């Protein structure tokens, strides 16, 4: 089924060529809605046109008045020049930052400024109490905290003129704080719901530490020059197609944006997608691959923003999108970056066939060597299947209100993620080739799949589910002596959740062909229940813990918008107390999992209560978060982003 396809693709796809494209794309300062992003989009368009694809650039307004579903617009930005000099103490005077050296020195969406200011040094600058007794009006704040929060507290509320950021996000175990002492962290201002004001520079941790030591003995003063502008403009989506025989589509997506160089994130995904599109067009043109049954559509977007805009403007096309794939941060040299190639599944609320297909292709096609006995096989790189994690464009397509099944290929963690050290030399041509081959095989297989392929896939899903059912049951036995472990009823409830997800996933195979999956679903359910019953004999017969009683958890959230809720504009319009409450809620959610609100929204179908949604999220993630999710939905309702209704009969 796969061997001849693999051989054909292997002759055409070039990891070296894709890596050259990474270097080309990385030359551009690709801030969403900016001249640099536009030039990158034009470069991609030119290469696709040269390859003979049907390609066009779609333009959307970069304007606060423009909105796509709940995603509010923002202005185009151009940063033309920026320097920051330390001028006092005079004995330590020197240049601290120059956008010509490292573009990330200037925080994107900064406004123009030319003048001098005293520097007030804070630790993180994220809590109001850090500012007590500190006069920051007319001054610049040096802080390591989240820039948007520091800007709110220092510039918006207390009159500072700008921010200097010297933080570096830790990512254990590959990136402890001081491991990138001489790199600059990527951070950004976002003005949704706010009047733009102020400027910002990002320094390396080493520079920041030196300034902090100086500030313990001296008053610091800097001279800042920023030449930048915000204006109503546009942002672009590059769209290429290989037409199929039907009106159904397979959609492949990569985000083209991010500051210069941002090689792995995500010039690598954009370059891999470019090579895949070029290779498939070439093979089909030469007759080495058949013309696909389903159209292959390729999208290069500014992350999130572009997917919202494209889907909102092509809503009539969404029902024809059978499946997709998101390529994000795929090209890492794993030894340099500390990363693993991850196959991220769609969420439980949109159970479907795509993750099993992608995993099966990887197992069969990326086994690079045989064992000592010349049998079996395994890859020579790190790879894993992982649950849904949001954070990229697939989370918009995978929202059940959109309903396009879309797993993601991504490498994580990455030692150089979102820093000036994410340079083209961190990519690996062999890895680019592996990902290109895997993604191309996935797209081609889906574009041609019919009844035979659908039958195979349903049985592959059954085999995968049975392995999972065994793991779930045995996992409960292993955890039996741990606090909070499942008893017999808890295991039965968990297994029923997995059965329901498997039955929903099997139904999606019918998008490929009208096959009867009910016998497979019935056999899988019986198998899983038998495994649970066997394991239950080793578990304590304890009652299920009662769900927490949370005021408001019996309300039903009703979504007002298609796609995930974007709340930046609404939160930006809150008063200070409201913004503080929202910040506090986000911090508490983050200590559990930033995925919780996204997954909860996915389960919000206008019929389930918050308590029922929280129970499903608990089965999906293992986290009990009824109180947090009740508070979250209440906040969204207060912002006007959804409605909450009483249960029927109340």
Are 28 and 39 spatial neighbours (Cβ–Cβ below 8 Å)? yes
More confident residue, 544 or 610: 610
Task: Count the alpha carbons within 13 Å of 617 in the hemisphere toward its beta carbon.
Answer: 29
Name the 3-class secondary structure at 576. Answer: helix
DSSP 23-44: HHHTTS-B-SSSHHHHHHHHHH
Question: Cβ distance 322 to 510 under 8 Å?
Answer: no
The reported pLDDT for the residue numbered 484 is 74
Domain boundaries of the chain, sorted by first residue: 3-73+234-448, 78-231, 451-536, 556-645
Residue 600 has pLDDT above 60, yes or no: yes
What confidence tens digit (pLDDT) does each residue in 268-294 have? Answer: 999 999 999 999 999 999 999 999 999
Asked if 616 and 624 count as a contact pair (C-beta separation under 8 A), the reply is no
Antiparallel, parallel or unpaired: β 94-98 and 162-165: unpaired
pLDDT at 234: 98
* Dist. CA 460–CA 208, nearest whole Å: 54
Residue 1 reports pLDDT greater than 80: no
Distance CA 506, CA 397 (A): 19
Q: What is the CATH number of domain 3-73+234-448?
A: 3.40.630.10
> In whole angstroms, what is the distance from residue 586 CA to residue 486 CA?
29
Distances (CA, A) of 170 to 5, 15, 173, 189, 420: 42, 30, 9, 20, 15
Is it the case that residue 172 has pLDDT exceeding 90?
no
Specify whether the CB–CB gap between 221 and 119 falls below 8 A. yes
CA dihedral 605, 610, 611, 615 (to 10 degrees): 60
> What average pLDDT does this structure show over 11-17?
97
In this structure, what token pair is assigned to residue 5? 């396809």
Tokens 């001489």 sit at which residue? Answer: 182
- Average of per-residue pLDDT across 54-81: 96
Q: How far apart are CA 454 and CA 513, in angstroms?
A: 6
Count of Cβ atoms closer than 10 Å to residue 407 Cβ: 26
Per-state percent for the chain, helix, strand, coil, to nearest 5:
45, 20, 35
Instruction: Read off the pLDDT of residues 441-500 as tens digits, 9 standing for 90 and up.
Output: 999 999 999 999 999 999 999 999 999 999 999 999 999 888 777 899 999 999 999 999
pLDDT per residue over 215-258, tens digit each?
Answer: 999 999 999 999 999 999 999 999 999 999 999 999 999 999 99
The three-point CA angle 205-182-27 to 5° equals 120
Fold of 78-231: Glucose Oxidase; domain 1 (3.50.30)
- The DSSP call for residue 185 is B
For residue range 290-345, what is the model confidence (pLDDT) as tens digits?
999 999 999 999 999 999 999 999 999 999 999 999 999 999 999 999 999 999 99
pTM value > 0.95: yes
Edge-first strand listing for the sheet containing 295-301: 54-62, 233-242, 295-301, 249-255, 321-327, 408-412, 340-344, 383-386
- Quickly state the pLDDT bin for 350 (edges 50, 70, 90): very high
Omega into 320 within 30° of 0, i.e. cis?
A: no
Residue 66 pLDDT grade (very low, low, confident, very high; cuts 50, 70, 90): very high
Query: How does the average pLDDT of the chain come out, rounded?
Result: 96
pLDDT band (50, 70, 90) for residue 648: low
User: How many angstroms separate the CA atoms of 276 and 440, rounded?
Assistant: 6
User: Is the model's pLDDT at 192 over the cut of 90?
Assistant: no
For 374-404, what is each residue's pLDDT tens digit? 888 899 999 999 999 999 999 999 999 999 9
Cβ-count burial 611-643 (b if 16+ within 10 Å, e if not): bbbbbbbbbbbeebbbbbbbbbbbbbbebebbe
pLDDT of residue 650: 53
Percentage of the chain exceeding pLDDT 90? 93
Query: Among candidates 534, 540, 547, 541, which has minimal Cα distance to 617?
Result: 547
Sheet hosting strand 199-202, strand order edge to edge: 94-98, 76-88, 220-231, 113-121, 140-143, 162-165, 199-202
Q: At what angle do helices 626-638 and 610-621 cross, to 10 degrees?
A: 130
Mean pLDDT of the 260-265 span: 98
Q: Residue 649: pLDDT above 70? A: no
CA gap 154, 120 in Å, rounded: 10
For 407-426, what is the mean pLDDT?
98
pLDDT at residue 481, rounded to an integer: 83
What is the predicted pLDDT for the residue at 447?
A: 98
């Amino acid at each position: 089924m796969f061997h001849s396809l693999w051989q054909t693709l292997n002759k055409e796809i070039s990891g070296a060529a894709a890596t050259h494209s990474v270097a080309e794309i990385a030359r551009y300062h690709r801030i969403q809605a900016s001249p640099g992003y536009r030039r990158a989009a034009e470069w991609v368009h030119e290469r696709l046109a040269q390859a003979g694809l049907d390609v066009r650039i779609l333009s959307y307004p970069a304007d606060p008045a423009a909105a796509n579903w709940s995603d509010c617009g923002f202005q185009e930005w151009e940063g033309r020049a920026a320097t920051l000099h330390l001028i006092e103490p005079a004995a330590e005077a020197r240049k601290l930052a120059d956008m010509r050296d490292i573009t990330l020195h200037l925080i994107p969406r900064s406004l123009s400024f030319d003048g001098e200011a005293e520097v007030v040094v804070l630790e993180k600058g994220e809590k109001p109490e850090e500012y007590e007794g500190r006069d920051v009006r007319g001054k610049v704040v040096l802080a390591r905290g989240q820039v948007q929060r520091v800007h709110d507290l220092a510039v918006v509320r207390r009159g500072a003129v700008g921010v200097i950021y010297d933080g570096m996000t830790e990512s254990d175990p590959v990136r402890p704080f001081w491991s990138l002492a001489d790199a600059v962290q990527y951070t950004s201002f976002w003005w949704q719901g706010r009047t733009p004001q102020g400027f910002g520079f990002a320094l390396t941790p080493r520079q920041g530490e030196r300034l902090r030591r100086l500030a313990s003995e001296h008053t610091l003063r800097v001279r800042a020059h920023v030449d930048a502008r915000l204006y109503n403009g546009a942002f672009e989506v590059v769209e290429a197609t290989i037409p199929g025989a039907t009106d159904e589509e397979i959609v492949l997506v990569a985000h083209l944006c991010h500051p210069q160089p941002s090689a792995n994130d995500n010039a690598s995904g954009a370059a891999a997608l470019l090579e895949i599109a070029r290779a498939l067009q070439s093979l089909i043109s030469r007759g080495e691959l058949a013309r696909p049954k389903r159209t292959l559509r390729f999208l290069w977007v500014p992350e999130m923003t572009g997917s919202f805009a494209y889907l909102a403007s092509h809503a009539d096309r969404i029902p024809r999108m059978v499946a997709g794939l998101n390529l994000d941060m795929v090209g890492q040299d794993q030894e340099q970056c500390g990363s693993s190639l991850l196959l991220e599944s769609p969420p439980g609320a949109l159970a479907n066939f795509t993750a099993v297909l992608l995993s099966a292709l990887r197992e069969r096609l990326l086994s690079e060597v045989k064992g000592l006995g010349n049998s079996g096989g395994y890859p020579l790189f790190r790879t894993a299947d992982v649950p849904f994690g949001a954070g990229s464009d697939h989370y918009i397509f995978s929202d059940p209100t959109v309903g396009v099944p879309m797993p993601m290929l991504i490498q994580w963690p990455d030692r150089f993620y979102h820093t000036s050290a994410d340079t083209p030399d961190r990519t690996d041509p062999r890895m680019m080739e592996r990902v290109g081959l895997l993604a191309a095989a996935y797209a081609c297989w889906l574009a041609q799949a019919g009844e035979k392929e659908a039958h195979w896939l349903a049985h592959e899903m059954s085999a995968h589910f049975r392995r999972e059912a065994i793991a779930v049951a045995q996992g409960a036995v292993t955890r039996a002596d741990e606090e909070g472990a499942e008893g017999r009823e808890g295991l039965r409830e968990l297994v029923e959740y997995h059965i329901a997800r498997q039955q929903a996933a099997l139904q999606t195979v019918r998008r490929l062909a009208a096959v009867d999956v009910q016998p497979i679903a019935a056999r899988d359910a019986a198998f899983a229940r038998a495994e649970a019953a066997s394991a239950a004999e080793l578990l304590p017969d304890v009652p299920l813990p009662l769900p927490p009683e949370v005021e408001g958890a019996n309300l039903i959230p009703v979504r007002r918008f298609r796609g995930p809720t974007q709340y930046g504009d609404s939160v930006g319009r809150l008063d200070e107390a409201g913004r503080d409450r929202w910040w506090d809620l986000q911090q508490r959610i983050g200590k559990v999992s930033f995925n919780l609100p996204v997954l909860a929204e996915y389960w919000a179908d206008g019929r389930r209560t918050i308590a029922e949604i929280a129970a499903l999220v608990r089965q999906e993630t293992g986290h009990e978060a009824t109180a947090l999710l009740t508070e979250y939905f209440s906040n969204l309702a207060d912002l006007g982003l959804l409605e909450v209704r009483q249960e029927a009969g109340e």
